[in-house]
Amino acid sequence: MTDLHSLQESIRAAAGARRPLCIRAGGSKDFYGGALQGELLDVGGLSGISDYEPTELTITAGAGTRLVQIENVLAECGQMLAFEPPRFAGGTTLGGTVAAGLSGPRRAYCGAVRDFVLGISMIDGRGAVLRFGGKVIKNVAGFDLSRLMAGSLGSLGVIAEVTLKTVPRPRAECTLRFAMEQPRALESMALWATRPLPLSATTWHDGLLHVRLSGAEAAVRAARGSLGGEVVSGAEEYWESVRDQRLELFAAGQELWRVSLPIHSPPLPIPGRMLIEWGGALRWLPGPQEAGGLRALAASFGGHAVLYRAPAKPAEGCFQPLPPPMLSLHRRLKAVFDPQGIFNRGRLHPDL
Amino acid sequence: MIDRLRRVLPPGAVLSDAEELKPYECDALTLYRRMPLAVALPADEAQVAAVLRTCCEAGVPVIARGAGTGLSGGATPRLDAVLMSLARLSRILSIDPLARTARVQPGVRNLAISEAAAPHGLYYAPDPSSQIACTIGGNVAENSGGVHCLKYGLTVHNLLALRIVTIDGEVLEIGARALDAPGYDLLALLTGSEGLLAVVTEATVRLIPRPQCARVVLAAFDSLAEAGQAVADVIAAGIIPAGLEMMDRPAVAAVEPFVHAGYPLEAEAIVLCESDGTAHEVEEEILRIEAVLRTAGSTECRISRDEAERLRFWAGRKAAFPAMGALSPDYYCMDGSIPRKRLATVLEAIRKMEGKYGLRCTNVFHAGDGNLHPLILFDSNDADEVARAEAFGGEILELCVREGGSITGEHGVGMEKIDQMCVQFGSAELETFHAVKRAFDERGLLNPGKAVPTLHRCAEFGRLHVRGGQLPHPDLPRF
């Protein structure tokens, strides 16, 4: 395990010289957000599971711990990470998962990374180790700064260790497939989510709606009966390819846009292929889009658009721009943790 | 100040007479009573912003208040501060059944959201025990939980978006009706921030389908250790119950004559474990739960046969707090959380503290998520008992931190646990909290003196967080 002290020293030295640092472990998400800037700060050595208590539903591990390792340990005790974060090619680490704030197919039904973060230890831009949250499920002491780290793309500090809430694996699972055009698929996903059905994932692409049911055997059986459709055998591989973003659609264009919308938003008036997840709340668009137009469209529905993968990074950043008062609040928060502005410059926002 | 507020608010929206102010002198933590400078009753977001701007310009502190049901003194007034009640912002703005959202003003009662969503088969899951009265604005401020939060989450897990007003009167939208939003997760930061960062003027919450049915198992145990192990065994069996509660023998003895729930009086602990979902699902799960509890050594195990019996089993647990009123003039409800496996150790230590402080303490426990509610019995007319009750409570919270838990599971820090914050956090973390507050509220005008102690206060409190053998705040003078 990399000495926390040596990382603190590197950070203090960089802060003294106002030298930007690029926090990295597995590097599986180098493509995500603004271009990497600064000297590499490798945190991959902060690795290892320090505490796992299946009956407490918590696991604590170093930021550099591979997700695959964590999931194997959980699986041995019949547990899992409910938010199904993407593992990409396998090098993905816990710290990067939390920092990127990306969640997988189960997100719409069980919650996102941030919902399962219970505590964090981090190194701030002064080189101080800070601990927020804890190892218990209920804890409202102090501001919830551990959840604030989720999705901050390393711009606030170096995540050193994370405690996550774990959940039991479902006892039964079944995937149904329906041939359906997009409007009817969107309506069906929204309607079914208003009923007490054990939904755990939904996708629509290429004229097919996939619905995964997970839970008690009786519940899955009953839901299968009431929804109809065709039972898909060997669906696990399909869901893994959605989760790890290996499905062919993710690579169908040089660019990939990720559009996040309220559930029950209508079909986007955009031609071309599309992958819909999260009951309609997440839409992946392979191929080039006019950024301003797509962002305005997403905003008009109450959502936002991210240029998720692109051969070249645009100057205005990959994320939906923040309104001026929000941006200034972001700057003030960034300065709390990273007064010299050394961490992951430009990754979350060109000005942060 | 009162005149300035009257100029920006409609007639009748500023209270200043002593008798009008009296109902606002405390929240549900009645140990602390103070009179506010004035009470402002804005009726919409523009008026909220006007009150905040007025106070900001005058440099006068503001304390936001919902229904005043909070148990940690988060809404306790100050003589030099305006108390702003959000009670008049009480409209449910819209319910969108297919998007499964409700957009509500902060003064809407928690239960009213579920009532409004009921015709669509939906409800709002977090159910703090005060849900009939507490408001969503207060729930956001405290990140309230409830009996069902192990399965359905806390407020933070059930919120999509907020409109907030900052101290300088600026309106910001945070979160989104979509499942994520650009930038930092300010929704998580605002939730549970105890009114220190901004004032909520609108919340969009997530609704979920109401489970078709629920049944509960009542199990008795000969020891707290066995009951604690049984709870762990339920989780180890891969079950996340809708509710998982425990009561110790004194708590059972107190409630049984009160509600006749049929609890076994000879048991050292009872466990209530609820399953909800479809009829098939519940049937399957409840039998598995019963089997686990029996194997874990339950001396008596009963499954509710019908809804009436289920409600009767719960009635005892829900009557635990009022029942204390029959035993003692006052009780002080604590709210620590611990890793569940430390339960027996913690309860044993609390038994010993009863002797030390000469006060009785009964225990009810959200066992599923490790949230302990020791109820310390005392008489508020006896100053010495009050002091002993506070010291007893403080020692319990410090014990929770030592055992790897937290000084507050769901009630918040407020005024009550501010000294114990010095035990749970080091000076670097506390300084970070203050800096985050300054990022929102540079002059510290929103709910000052709550939730986060000054380092000076921690030094005076004298019971400091010791980490790795090093005393924190080495830079501070000691008195």
Yes or no, beta carbons of A262 and B413 under 8 Å apart: no
Please name the residue of chain B whose CA is at the shortest distance from the CA of residue A122: B429
Q: Which amino acid is at B310?
A: R
Question: Has the ipTM of the complex gone over 0.95?
Answer: yes
Q: What is the pLDDT of residue B477?
A: 29
Q: What is the pLDDT of residue B471?
A: 37
CB < 8 Å to A279, chain B: none
Q: How many of the other CB atoms lie within 10 Å of CB of A112?
A: 24
- Residue among B97, B182, B191 whose CB faces A194 most closely: B97
Q: What is the pLDDT of residue B465?
A: 41
Does the structure show a pLDDT above 70 at A208?
yes
Q: What is the pLDDT of residue B433?
A: 98
Probe site for chain B from A56, A143, A258, A261 (most B CB atoms < 10 A): A143
**Would you give per-residue pLDDT tens digits along chain B (479 residues)?**
999 999 999 999 999 999 999 999 999 988 889 999 999 999 999 999 999 999 999 999 999 999 999 999 999 999 999 999 999 999 999 999 999 999 999 999 999 999 999 999 999 999 998 899 999 999 999 999 888 999 999 999 999 999 999 999 999 999 999 999 999 999 999 999 999 999 999 999 999 999 999 999 999 999 999 999 999 999 999 999 999 999 999 999 999 998 899 999 999 999 999 999 988 889 999 999 999 999 999 999 999 999 999 999 999 888 888 888 788 998 898 999 999 889 889 999 999 999 999 999 999 999 999 999 999 999 989 999 999 999 999 999 999 999 999 999 999 999 999 999 999 999 999 999 999 999 999 999 999 999 999 999 998 886 544 343 333 333 432 23
A12 reaches B (C-beta below 8 A)? no
Q: How many helices (H) and strands (E) does chain B have?
A: 17, 19
Tokens of B186: 């300010």
Average pLDDT over residues A294-314: 97
Query: In 3D, which of B84, B82, B209, B73 has the Cα closest to residue B137?
Result: B84
CB < 8 Å to B433, chain A: 142-143, 145
Chain A residues 45-104 with CB within 8 Å of chain B? 53-58, 78-79, 101
A347 reaches B (C-beta below 8 A)? no
CB < 8 Å to B409, chain A: 136, 138-140
Q: CA-CA distance, A94 to A109, in Å (whole number)?
A: 22
CB A267 within 8 A of CB A204: no
Probe site for chain A from B184, B229, B280, B346 (most A CB atoms < 10 A): B184
Q: What is the pLDDT of residue B286?
A: 97
Does the structure show a pLDDT above 50 at A29?
yes
CB < 8 Å to A263, chain B: 98-101, 179
Q: What is the pLDDT of residue B476?
A: 32
Yes or no, beta carbons of B145 and A143 under 8 Å apart: no
Q: What is the pLDDT of residue B308?
A: 96
Q: How many of the other CB atoms lie within 10 Å of CB of B57?
A: 11
Probe site for chain B from A53, A76, A136 (most B CB atoms < 10 A): A136
Q: CA-CA distance, A43 to A64, in Å (whole number)?
A: 6
Angle between helices B279-295 and B224-236 (to 10 degrees): 140
Distance from CA of B375 to the nearest CA of A (A): 19
Q: CA-CA distance, B276 to A309, in Å (whole number)?
A: 42
Probe site for chain B from A114, A131, A140 (most B CB atoms < 10 A): A140
**Residue B248 DSSP label:** E
Yes or no, beta carbons of B178 and A262 under 8 Å apart: yes
Q: CA-CA distance, B380 to B473, in Å (whole number)?
A: 35
Q: Which residues pair with B219 in a beta bridge?
A: B271, B301
Cβ neighbours for A100, distance < 8 A, ≥ 6 positions apart:
A29, A32, A33, A151, A153
- Chain A and chain B share a number of CB contacts under 8 A equal to 258
- Mean pLDDT value across chain A: 96
Q: pLDDT tier at A2 (50, 70, 90 boundaries)?
A: low
Distance from CA of B379 to the nearest CA of A (A): 28
Using alpha carbons, list the distances in angstroms from residue A99 to A37, A259, A310, B104, B154. Answer: 16, 19, 20, 31, 22
CB < 8 Å to B284, chain A: 216-219
Q: CA-CA distance, B201 to B93, in Å (whole number)?
A: 12
- Residue among A132, A191, A260 whose CB faces B429 most closely: A132
Q: State the pTM of this model.
A: 0.95
Chain A residues 146-185 with CB within 8 Å of chain B? 147-148, 150-152, 156, 167-169, 171
Yes or no, beta carbons of A168 and B238 under 8 Å apart: yes
Q: CA-CA distance, A109 to A88, in Å (whole number)?
A: 22
3-state class of B30 per DSSP?
coil
Tokens of A121: 């230890």
Probe site for chain A from B179, B288, B342, B447 (most A CB atoms < 10 A): B179
Percent of chain A topping pLDDT 90: 98
A246 reaches B (C-beta below 8 A)? no
Q: Which residues pair with A33 in a beta bridge?
A: none
Yes or no, beta carbons of A139 and B337 under 8 Å apart: yes
Yes or no, beta carbons of B98 and A263 under 8 Å apart: yes
- Residue among A194, A196, A333 whose CB faces B184 most closely: A333
Q: CA-CA distance, B394 to B155, in Å (whole number)?
A: 26
Q: What is the pLDDT of residue B478?
A: 27
Q: Give the CA diameter of chain A.
A: 65
Residue that the structure tokens 């039991």 belong to:
A168
Query: In 3D, which of B156, B139, B154, B153 has the Cα closest to residue B71?
Result: B139
